[in-house]
């Protein structure tokens, strides 16, 4: 698949350090290329209290890490020319066309259509 098996083999020991240092209960790493799985490994447990094992379809709570993940996805769309930062969000999500904003606790119309760039500033 054009991936270095030697480099892929470095992932598990690196992740294992997080488990050994008690920073995380468990980690699953997954890499796909051209629609095929080239790497899937797990270390640790899904739940250190119950000893539940990590499965391929295990769910992990990532809390506020959604912001950097969404930002990276948006930048990928930007690179592909499918997203422009200075266009109104409503161009991509029409439900945001006539949204209101809060000013001194009162809902008021937007002073301008907010842009993807403004949205990405979180």
Residue range 2-35, pLDDT digits in tens: 889 999 999 999 999 999 999 999 999 999 988 8
Residue range 85-111, pLDDT digits in tens: 999 999 999 999 988 989 999 999 988
Percent pLDDT > 70 in the chain is: 100
Using alpha carbons, list the distances in angstroms from residue 82 to 75, 78, 95, 109.
10, 6, 19, 28
Enter the pTM of the model. Answer: 0.53
């Amino acid at each position: 698949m054009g991936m270095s098996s030697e480099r892929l083999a470095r992932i598990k020991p690196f992740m294992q350090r997080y488990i050994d240092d008690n920073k995380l209960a468990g980690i699953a790493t997954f890499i796909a290329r051209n629609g095929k799985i080239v790497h899937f490994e797990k270390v640790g447990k899904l739940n250190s209290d119950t000893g539940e094992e990590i499965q391929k379809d295990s769910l992990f709570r990532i809390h506020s890490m959604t912001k950097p993940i969404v930002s990276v996805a948006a930048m990928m769309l930007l690179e592909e020319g499918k997203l422009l930062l200075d266009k109104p969000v409503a161009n991509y999500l029409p439900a945001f066309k006539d949204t209101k904003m809060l000013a001194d606790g009162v809902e008021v119309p937007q002073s301008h259509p907010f842009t993807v760039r403004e949205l990405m500033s979180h």
